[in-house]
Structure 1
């Protein structure tokens, strides 16, 4: 039986660990202290955790809260549903999830939208809190 060209061009299946490794090769992740310093210089911290985690653990003061399923629509500077902070493709964005996994996949998506300076926080919100950086209920 012949294999169609569509099937030949389909990417080979890989596990999530391999996918994370592959997308993280395209940018440099940052730690909590660097994220705080960049935020002080104008970078946009974006918390993509769902509401139950924010209610349980608190939030980072000044972070824009955008749940993951709305991220691309809210951060695309050309989008009709963009957040007021989404002013440029050159904006430095630091995506924060709970532990630093979902944020890496989110950054890959933002890069596809042309937000080439997007990165994520290694260890996520939990690393931020463990570093003793500000958190509000």
Structure 2
């Protein structure tokens, strides 16, 4: 009588594989992972060990790196950035901005289209989106507007309330427009001063 398939498997040659008896562990016994022929143990080299050591020291010695800033701290940081941006700016009142524009300065409105539609357009202003401001007003740049005669051109940046305009003016100064400045109070101050607004379509440069 021929042997059963199970018996043949147990009595098979080494090439066919020999069934190994199963071992059962008692409940609660920890199981250690086996390291077989296809498993490699990786050990960090000296260079990686030094990196890990520096990272561990930085994590322990620098708790600020893993803490979150409170809203008050963020506001204080913004005030510091704004104060630094306004250093060296000869900021203008709305009346002074009008006089400078009549004398040849460029009045640049960086408000959004929604803000212009809500409050009105400034007469004589060139509207440039904040995202492309530096490219349109780069002295000698390929994408600059033709009204920019050179680095000595006075540029007056206007926003809604006079905060973003200060940061934008400081950025323009950093690329060579040393006479770039902004208007105190923005368009809100313009309206409060009783200066006129324009009903004409805004001069938008893209």
Does residue 40 (structure 1) correspond to residue 102 (structure 2)? The answer is: yes
Show the counterpart of 1:87: 149
Higher-Rg structure is 2
1:7-27 deviation per Cα after TM superposition (whole angstroms, max 9, x unaligned): xxxxxx961111111111122
Runs of 4 or more, structure 1, over 2 Å off, are none
* Structure 2: distance between partners of 1:22 and 1:77: 23
Question: 5+ residue gaps in structure 2?
Answer: 1-53, 59-73, 200-206
Query: 1:72 aligned to 134, 140, 150, which one?
Result: 134
Q: What is the TM-score normalised by the length of structure 1?
A: 0.88
1:41-87 deviation per Cα after TM superposition (whole angstroms, max 9, x unaligned): 11110000010001111111110100111100111121111111112
> Where do residues 3-82 of structure 1 align in structure 2 (5 Å cutoff)?
15-82=77-144
Question: 5+ residue gaps in structure 1?
Answer: 4-12
SS in 2 for 1:81: coil
* Structure 2: distance between partners of 1:77 and 1:85: 11
After superposition, the CA RMSD in angstroms is 1.5
* Structure 2: distance between partners of 1:21 and 1:64: 26
* Structure 2: distance between partners of 1:78 and 1:42: 19
Show the counterpart of 1:118: 180
Of structures 1 and 2, the one scoring higher in RCO (CA 8 A, sep 6+) is 1
Count of aligned pairs:
128
Conserved? CA contact 2:134–2:172, under 8 Å? yes
